Chain A
Amino acid sequence: AQKITQTQPGMFVQEKEAVTLDCTYDTSDPSYGLFWYKQPSSGEMIFLIYQGSYDQQNATEGRYSLNFQKARKSANLVISASQLGDSAMYFCAMRVPRGNNFNKFYFGSGTKLNVKP
């Protein structure tokens, strides 16, 4: 079974500091993709970053980086130099390309990040 676990319901970070949002996943498939999405109060899910299971290097996108530890099955999101606009819900997701379920995204329960001025 595919599963995504986010153990931090809420996080606080001071503006301009870095923060790590935790994500662990479970799959027996060797090929998969890991994603992070940001969901502000407006409701839209905004794609942030992607890591493929065969990628050798950790993904980075601007202030976002993904700390991919395959053996531990973790894919933590690191946000550097936090900004007030980073306050939102953050979802970790996994996509497993196999069989009839190959295009299903599995989402975690989310982490609500609050950036303090």
Chain B
Amino acid sequence: GAGVSQSPRYKVAKRGQDVALRCDPISGHVSLFWYQQALGQGPEFLTYFQNEAQLDKSGLPSDRFFAERPEGSVSTLKIQRTQQEDSAVYLCASSLGPVKEAFFGQGTRLTVV
């Protein structure tokens, strides 16, 4: 597609439920990022992939968060046993290389009730 696509756009989960968020990056983009954006805040880094390799996961807040990109294209961010503090917008971005601008998707707004 022309841009980064994320699905679903909105997700309401009951506390304790597992969720999976999908990101389709721009075709050919090597780098892929996940960010978490709380209401009224700037995005906070979660994890980074270069192709299928997860090179940095230092931003993942707990071991309930897991991300994968098995074939170097589509990525999934999984959150197990969701908690209310996980409520945020989750942004995915991709870029051609390490010093290029990143293009963001519209995000998935997760609300944990």
Residues of A within 8 A of B (CB): 4, 33, 35, 37, 42-47, 50, 52, 91, 95, 97, 100-110
Contacts and interface: CB of A to CB of B under 8 A. Distances in A.
A47 B106 CA distance: 13
Nearest to A44: B106
Interface residues of B, number: 28
Contact of B45 (A33, A100, A105, A110): A105
Contacts, number: 66
B55 A47 contact: no
A46 B102 CA distance: 9
Nearest to B109: A43
Interface string B86-97: 000101010000
Contacts of A105: 33, 35, 43, 45, 93, 102
Interface in B36-60: 40-45, 48, 50, 55-56, 58-59
